[in-house]
Structure 1
Amino acid sequence: MPATLFLAPDAAGLARAADILRAGGLVAFPTETVYGLGGDARSDRAVAGIFAAKDRPRFNPLIAHLPDLAAAEEFALFDDRARALAAAFWPGPLTLVLPLRPGAGLSPLVTAELPTVAIRVPAHPVAQALLRAFGGPLAAPSANPSGRVSPTRAAHVAEGLSGRIDAILDGGACAVGVESTILGLDGTASLLRPGGLPAESIEALIGPLTTGGNAAKPNAPGQLASHYAPAAAIRLNARDTRPGEIRLGFGPGAAALNLSPTGDLTEAAANLFHLLREADRLAGPGGTIAIAPIPETGLGRAINDRLRRAAAPRG
């Protein structure tokens, strides 16, 4: 493959990106959560290319990105709950897992041949512009090698995937910084992955959620036990710093790096993956990152989910 192109998020860059996608190529693009690795969700070749570029296991389904609810309804079956959630939170960091519409035309690789599909309408203006320029559904997992730290800047994408994908559409840093919340609606409303939309906001609209997800047979991304991992080891809920460790703090106190010195969970989520990368660089080979406790409320639930998976034993 030729060298990966860097494209500006202007009319020329968007047109070039859309042309690459129509030809079955792969383009990384910014969303408000993290950068996604986009390919035509209707093309077996393009979707297989996503899995190959990321070294991603094919049993792990992908999210299809659409520009609006009307476009999303062409590919999934929405009930009243789903439409109410879409009206409240789309565009935004919420993915809905819904029954796949018969004859939708998506590659079965997107859904891992399940009868459901994960759908999202992103809010980032560059993502919206790309979706409209392309004119179809984009399958787009995070734009990083599978299991590694998710990218929130174009440079992060290049670190992991340069030479393996066609282009990177550079839209600056991602504002939310953790992946979307995934909600299963094929039956009882179930939280499959905490993310950029706090579960409390969803429960305020539709009532209590159950917790779902299956690492052995995922029905949505982000359920594998080991994920988001830096090269360094991770020690969670660290209230001290041991010799040789790099401290990643939260709230007041001395730390080499701090997710949010004021203890703001929104700021911490936005900084999480970038500072994990920086801590990994500082820790060096065989090093350890000691991470301060994070409250298990609001966006803290998504942050802790990512950190627990990052710290899990690696296969």
Structure 2
Amino acid sequence: MGEYGSDRGQGEGQLRPDGQAEIGPQAAIEGAARALAAGELVLLPTETVYGLGADAANPTAVAAIFAAKGRPRFNPLIAHVADLETAARIAMLDDRALALAQAFWPGPLTLVAPIRDTEAVCDLARAGLDTVAIRLPGHPLARAVLAAFGGAVVAPSANRSGRPSPTTHADAVSETGEACAVTLDGGPCEVGLESTVVAVLDGPPRLLRPGAVTRAQLEAVVGPLAEAADDARRSPGRMALHYAPDAPVRIDAAGPQAGEAFLAFGPWPDGEGVFNLSPTGDLAEAAAKLFSYLRAADRTHPVGIAVATIPDQGLGEAINDRLRRAAGFIG
């Protein structure tokens, strides 16, 4: 694990009294960007909380976030970008979204908008939804890493599930630092509260999660906000449904019945309509493939989709949670 800032005592990644960034060695920033590009995790400071960062386009890297946090749920994750231009390439930002971005970015506001580039933020990061949660963080060190990386980075809070979000480098390292190739010390988080989340879709903008940008501030820009309603599932930090295929889903199946596609797990013979989530029984691989394989199976127009039993431990808990929802047992 690499890190810079705290051990060297040079204030790297802090803000100077004049408010300008004192980023520290460019090599450290470039090292974090290289780690992200290699599919590794990076502990990243933002003005809200410390995040556990991964390449948003890489489902295996995203799956590693869920594993590192423990007892995961496949909620949509926020895609962090370096500038508005990158956000507009990834998401379809209408006039209201652009007005909010221009008013509050960089800063603790996340916009939920229709996805434009599905490869830039993978299915797993979006929880299989047709929308993306996106923001431009205010912390200069985070922005420097994002600019060096060049793509979107998902970075949910760096705590293990069920624990408070870390707002210092030391707390973040104690929570999930062992899972990271690089940790960056940006000092204490200025906001210390997860970002406000607003959906800008059909109808009036909806407040999905309150945060540091207040309702009054938002309404001064876009007018009255509606409540979350059905769009709550599109926000991080809320219960979210993943992609549900058209074909009915049958879970804990010993094998396919006539006309069914089959999502296997572990050793299983190849064949027509068989999609093996992980021939070796690797839960991280299965998590990374889950949404894309459900879609692929659905495109064969089967009478149903049977899914093998997935161990209900580690990432398996999250996989089974999503499968039970797809099968209609939850939500």
Instruction: Please state which band the TM-score falls in when normalised by the shorter chain.
Output: 0.5 to 0.7
Q: Give the partner amino acid of 2:100.
A: L
Gaps of 5+ in 1: 226-315
Q: Give the partner amino acid of 2:216.
A: E
SS in 2 for 1:175: coil
**How far off its partner does 1:162 sit?**
2.9
CA distance in 1 between partners of 2:229 and 2:141 (Å)? 30
**How far off its partner does 1:205 sit?**
1.1
User: Is the CA contact (8 Å cut-off) linking 2:120 and 2:152 kept in structure 1?
Assistant: no
Structure 2 residue aligned with 1:60: 75
- Residue among 195, 198, 205 paired with 1:189: 205
User: Is the CA contact (8 Å cut-off) linking 1:34 and 1:177 kept in structure 2?
Assistant: yes
**How far off its partner does 1:28 sit?**
1.0
Q: Give the partner amino acid of 1:6.
A: E
| Equivalent residue runs for 1:235-250 within 5 Å | none
- 1:198-225 Cα deviation digits (max 9, x unpaired): 111001111111121679x731112259
- Residue among 218, 222, 230 paired with 1:202: 218
SS in 2 for 1:98: strand
- Residue among 135, 146, 161 paired with 1:120: 135
- 1:258-301 Cα deviation digits (max 9, x unpaired): xxxxxxxxxxxxxxxxxxxxxxxxxxxxxxxxxxxxxxxxxxxx
SS in 1 for 2:128: coil
Structure 1 runs, 4 residues or longer, greater than 6 Å off? none
Structure 2 residue aligned with 1:39: 54
**How far off its partner does 1:38 sit?**
0.8
Task: Determine if the alignment matches structure 1 residue 80 to structure 2 residue 95.
Answer: yes
- 1:14-44 Cα deviation digits (max 9, x unpaired): 1211111111000011111111111000111
**How far off its partner does 1:107 sit?**
1.2
CA distance in 2 between partners of 1:33 and 1:67 (Å)? 16
- 1:83-109 Cα deviation digits (max 9, x unpaired): 111111111110000001154432111
**How far off its partner does 1:58 sit?**
4.2
CA distance in 1 between partners of 2:56 and 2:67 (Å)? 15
- Residue among 147, 153, 156 paired with 2:168: 153
Gaps of 5+ in 2: 6-12, 14-23, 241-331
* Larger-Rg structure: 2
**How far off its partner does 1:68 sit?**
1.1
CA distance in 2 between partners of 1:144 and 1:36 (Å)? 8
C-alpha RMSD of matched pairs (Å): 1.9
Task: Determine if the alignment matches structure 1 residue 30 to structure 2 residue 30.
Answer: no
Relative to the length of structure 2, the TM-score reads: 0.64
User: Is the CA contact (8 Å cut-off) linking 1:192 and 1:211 kept in structure 2?
Assistant: yes
User: Is the CA contact (8 Å cut-off) linking 1:58 and 1:112 kept in structure 2?
Assistant: no
Task: Determine if the alignment matches structure 1 residue 212 to structure 2 residue 228.
Answer: yes
Relative to the length of structure 1, the TM-score reads: 0.67
Structure 1 residue aligned with 2:65: 50
Task: Determine if the alignment matches structure 1 residue 5 to structure 2 residue 14.
Answer: no
- 1:153-201 Cα deviation digits (max 9, x unpaired): 0011112113222221001001111011000112221110001111110
Percent sequence identity is 51
Structure 2 residue aligned with 1:110: 125
